[in-house]
Amino acid sequence: MKRGIYLAAAAACIVGIAGTLYLIFYRAPIDRLLLFNQKIFYYHVANAWMLGAAIITCGVSSLLYLRTRQGRHDDLARAAGELAVLYGAIVLVTGSIWGKAAWDIWWDWDARLTTSLLLWMTMVGYVLVRQYGGPGSERMAAGLGVFATVNIPLVYFSVKIWRTLHPQTSVVPGLQGSMRAAMWSSVALFAVLYVLFLLARMRVAQGERRLSELREQALDAGLIE
Amino acid sequence: MDFLRHVTTIAWKDLRVELRSREILFNMAFFAAMVVILFSFAFLKEGKDGAMVVVAEVAPGFLWIAVLFSATLGMARAFDRERESDTMRGLLISPAPRAALFLGKAAGLFVLMAMVEAVVVPLIWFFFAAPLFAEPVAMTAIIVLTTAGVAVVGSVFAAMLMRTRARDVLLPVILYPILVPLFIAAIKGTSGVLVGETEQTWFWIRFLLVYDSSFVVAALWTFESVVIE
């Protein structure tokens, strides 16, 4: 049953990708200033929101893990942490392409760009800890997840003092007609995709954890060396 | 009151161990001085319109990068010692509350970093004629708050990493992104002192205060659950 829902949602995503491509390239009008370059906006914004969602998921489940010590929270945090690295990479690359088209520079030390970069670096650190920390690293990673969450407003505020080049948040509600449809369908698509990735990665993490628990039990029982 | 006594006992224990061997302190101070000298080779140029402007731009960076890098050496070692002689367990079963244990460790690191700063700050003043002592109150506030922030966050991470593989490599990797806001504030605040912009300086001092208090709370909250065996 669960598997059926999962596969149905995955199939819906495949249709959805085709659908958003259609909406973005055939229905939404060409932007007056940025022309064709503006198309990347639909995927950039959706992925940026998913980056936020992944970091929040990771922070909250890290906190829950530290409080309750239940492995499932840790699995979720791990899945979200890795996804945050993926989404961060997508956001930074698509954002740079946008920046080159709109401002004629690849990178600018503007508040939002810098915040995204720093959060991404933190999440890369999180994944590195999980990868190379060895046994016991999950508690430490959870601690880091909590610190990263506390750090978000501080990073944003401290870098905000600089001049802001990035379009303000008011761009999204101000979108009209077919641009708006393309935008929101892309967000919906990536939200579903995010949940699917999260569940899939979580299942793998669960499996890994159970395997290592079983191995330990077998070692204790003297069944394996 | 009892709590404070526990904190000072642990901090004093760390410092006494250190002052007897002096292995971390001398190395930290020398490393920090070396970083400052290397940076001056990298960035100092003959300015056409007065060297002072250049110094005000780069000197805060020299100062805080040297302090941050040398602090990383110190915090890793402070917990390595507990691990090597397996004394962490002793500390954990002692009647001192975990929060006092943590604050004691952080206070020890704070004093160690302050000793390094006592070398680096005059060094920057001496080498680059940077007027770091122009506003003693503001400069002291920046130094104290930045050092406290690094000591608190650094102690949590060093404690977390104590029992993991590759801890020497992982410490800076996870520590620096978290310390970036602190670092920005310290550099901007210090350059405010150098160019005499009092308002900018005090803005960043308030920011440091917010940063420190947020992370003291977060540290006290997480330390217990990440360090327990």
Strand-pair partners of A35: A31
User: How many distinct structural domains can be found in chain B?
Assistant: 1
pLDDT at B147: 94
CA-to-CA separations, A122 to A106, A117, A141, A166, B179, in angstroms, rounded: 22, 9, 11, 22, 10
What distance lies between CA A64 and its chain's CA centroid? 19
Of all helices (H) and strands (E), which one includes residue A149?
Answer: helix A137-160
Contact A139 B226 (CB under 8 A): yes
> Rounded to whole angstroms, how far apart are CA atoms B158 and B139?
28
Collect all residues from A whose CB is shorter than 8 A from any CB in B.
66-67, 118, 121-122, 125-126, 128-129, 132-137, 139-140, 142-144, 146-148, 150-151, 154-155, 157-159, 161
pLDDT at A163: 46
Chain B residues lying within 8 Å of A144, measured CB to CB: 157, 160, 174, 178
Beta-carbon-side half-sphere exposure of residue A184 (alpha carbons within 13 Å): 9
Task: Write the residue in A128, A134, A143 that is nearest to B173 by C-beta.
Answer: A128
Please report the pLDDT score of residue B17 as a whole number.
85
pLDDT in tens, chain A (225 residues): 678 888 888 888 888 888 887 777 777 677 666 666 677 777 888 888 888 889 989 999 998 998 888 888 888 999 999 999 999 999 899 888 888 877 788 887 777 788 888 889 989 999 988 888 777 778 888 888 888 888 888 877 776 664 445 555 555 566 666 777 777 888 888 888 888 888 888 888 888 888 988 988 888 888 877
Please give the biggest Cα pair distance in chain B. 63
Report how far residue A121's alpha carbon sits from residue A126's, in angstroms, rounded to the nearest whole number: 9
In which domain, by residue range, is B113 found? Answer: 2-227
Size of interface A-B (CB pairs under 8 A): 91
Residue A31 bridge partners (DSSP):
A35
**Each residue's pLDDT tens digit, B146-192:** 999 999 999 888 888 877 777 778 888 889 988 988 988 898 888 88
Predicted confidence at residue A205, as pLDDT, reads 87
